[in-house]
Structure 1
């Protein structure tokens, strides 16, 4: 085969031509450069750079500077053949480029070089996405977190794992507790209401929240998240993990009188005492199902949604009507992390991304790893 000087050919990424394959394609604005590799008979590789043009079909248009023969494939008078990735990368200022495609056989080796390099986190995330295409959603979320000027986190369920592991569930294993946190239960079945709330208060005494609380707190400390909102009830201990924590429903461990709203203690509530001021029944000050949110809580949460450029919803119940109303208040991007498969319909916000049936602890831990690069 003979091709004249100045002729063009087309080389598809990952497909060998005369033994040469595209290992890395990189771009910087409208400039492209490609590292080519050739596997030798002894299974070692040699590498060289081509400064060709990558078209929209991920193929390289190469202008040959001299004829090809069966022995050598010379692409450019400026290319140099080397025998290792490290040497090859040293020949090009790759730190200024972002990768488009990386040969699957070299992804881990390239990432080992890149992740310790002195480049910005944003560019490292792009290299991570190219090296691990199956984890692109992680790098995308991490990039959004870095770029957002105001991010809020909404925390939904916080005690599922603890309840399942508790040895003191007793009768609650056999009772439908779905509607116990309701105004109806308080009014018409106060004894069951009080017993169940007392049980919850007991198991939450030393509870610091799910594992991912530490990660969210770390994001907040590093000014990556500006506020935390508890969708369901909170406790003083859980809220204390964050600098700026807001309630929607309210705290479970702040006890008051249902009638006069005078404050009381958890001990008085558990011991079945009544209000010392008016004799009324005691209850948590949180909003129960069937009641309206406290105006101050609702206004504060809406204000956060209006300011947010990025919203993390972690194990939230997105099926409740007020959730859609909150989503209408934001122009930001919304990321929903859920351990369960939920029917999610948020039609007015096209920037919503759903990651369902995942472990928030693992997902956020990997995000934290990427942000610490």
Structure 2
């Protein structure tokens, strides 16, 4: 077809299909289908051209009667790669080949899934907050050089070496007063308000999601901004804990309302998170190594696609639909920009 460009070309054992296009002066396109079908007699190959159409929807109708997504992709016009990818993805055939030839980036794929999701759930871990200056358990900052955080965060330390437990957590509380939510927290808050994020759960205890404006955050490991007595459960102020005061009700040791290693997760929060993830069509896991049980079992309950965004590998990367290596704030900023652009 002279002066026409190839929009889409696929091939199979019996021949090939091309969707061709011609760009008009006003920037719109005309489309036609070309089929080259092999025969097994003396007639030779059959070449057939369709009539010309003038919209993308009509162009798809020209080829929809053929199983084109199941054939081997040969060529895709860069101006139509996102349109073609969306059609190919919905068919579920040869997805690796189609994603490769359409040159779909990780961010584009994530953005597409977010835009099409009806029930997106987010689970965050320590990597969500490191960009705010909160060290994770593998950091070499502050008391992390003096204490093994896994040991000092165990129930045994609270009960057997309270001075060490208190020093560690009073230090953390004081340091967190200097910390502010980062762009990633703010983006998730905006997405929650816009209805893009239906449910937000976190392993983090520093309450930065709430400070960014998120509401109804499921804190799987509790939070450092409230305190209670370890003996009788009476509430107390964070200042009382920092000053190492005893419980006003019974004289017992105070502790932050967090789940320590060796303790059970709050069952009501755990059950709700389990249920929300089970009914999700997209689970976005951000900044967690998934090495802590039982939270690392939650991705297995996802009802749809699972995406992990983390700087390092997790033990379950091979089970996820998409793995993105990068900082939470950087990736979420790119995704938000693309989502905003797609709405214009």
Q: Please, what TM-score do these two structures have when normalized by structure 1? A: 0.66
Question: Cα distance 1:53–1:193, how it changes in 2: closer, same or farther (>3 A)?
Answer: farther
Aligned to 2:123: 154
8 Å contact kept, 1:22–1:103 = no
* 1:253-311 deviation digits (Å, cap 9, x = unpaired): 11110001111011111111110100110111111011011222222212212222221
Picking from 2, 5, 20, the partner of 1:34 is 20
Aligned to 1:227: 199
Secondary structure at the aligned position of 2:303 is classed as coil
Aligned to 2:169: 197
Structure 1 residue 94: Cα displacement: 3.3
Picking from 37, 42, 54, the partner of 1:92 is 54
Question: Cα distance 1:35–1:150, how it changes in 2: closer, same or farther (>3 A)?
Answer: same
Secondary structure at the aligned position of 1:321 is classed as coil
Aligned to 2:329: 361
* 1:23-52 deviation digits (Å, cap 9, x = unpaired): 42289xxx9631379xxxxxxxxx985531
Equivalences for 1:1-373 in 2 at 5 Å? 22-25=5-8, 33-35=19-21, 50-53=32-35, 63=47, 92-94=54-56, 107=78, 110=79, 133-157=102-126, 158-161=128-131, 162-163=133-134, 169-235=141-207, 237-240=208-211, 241-344=213-316, 352-372=320-340, 373=342
If each structure's helix is expressed as a fraction of its own residues, which one has the higher value? 2
Question: Cα distance 1:62–1:271, how it changes in 2: closer, same or farther (>3 A)?
Answer: farther
Question: Cα distance 1:217–1:268, how it changes in 2: closer, same or farther (>3 A)?
Answer: same
CA distance in 2, matches of 1:211, 1:54: 52
Question: Cα distance 1:268–1:132, how it changes in 2: closer, same or farther (>3 A)?
Answer: farther
Question: Cα distance 1:62–1:362, how it changes in 2: closer, same or farther (>3 A)?
Answer: farther
Aligned to 1:43: none
CA distance in 2, matches of 1:198, 1:49: 68
Structure 1 residue 187: Cα displacement: 1.8
Secondary structure at the aligned position of 2:294 is classed as helix
Q: Please, what TM-score do these two structures have when normalized by structure 2? A: 0.71
CA distance in 1, matches of 2:288, 2:19: 45
CA distance in 2, matches of 1:54, 1:289: 66
Gaps of 5+ in 2: 11-16, 24-28, 38-44, 61-67, 91-97
CA distance in 2, matches of 1:307, 1:178: 32
Question: Cα distance 1:140–1:53, how it changes in 2: closer, same or farther (>3 A)?
Answer: farther
CA distance in 2, matches of 1:310, 1:220: 14
CA distance in 2, matches of 1:192, 1:54: 77
Ranges of 4+ aligned residues in structure 1 off by more than 6 Å: 98-104, 129-132
CA distance in 1, matches of 2:168, 2:101: 47
* Higher RCO (CA 8 Å, separation ≥ 6 residues): 2
CA distance in 1, matches of 2:177, 2:74: 51
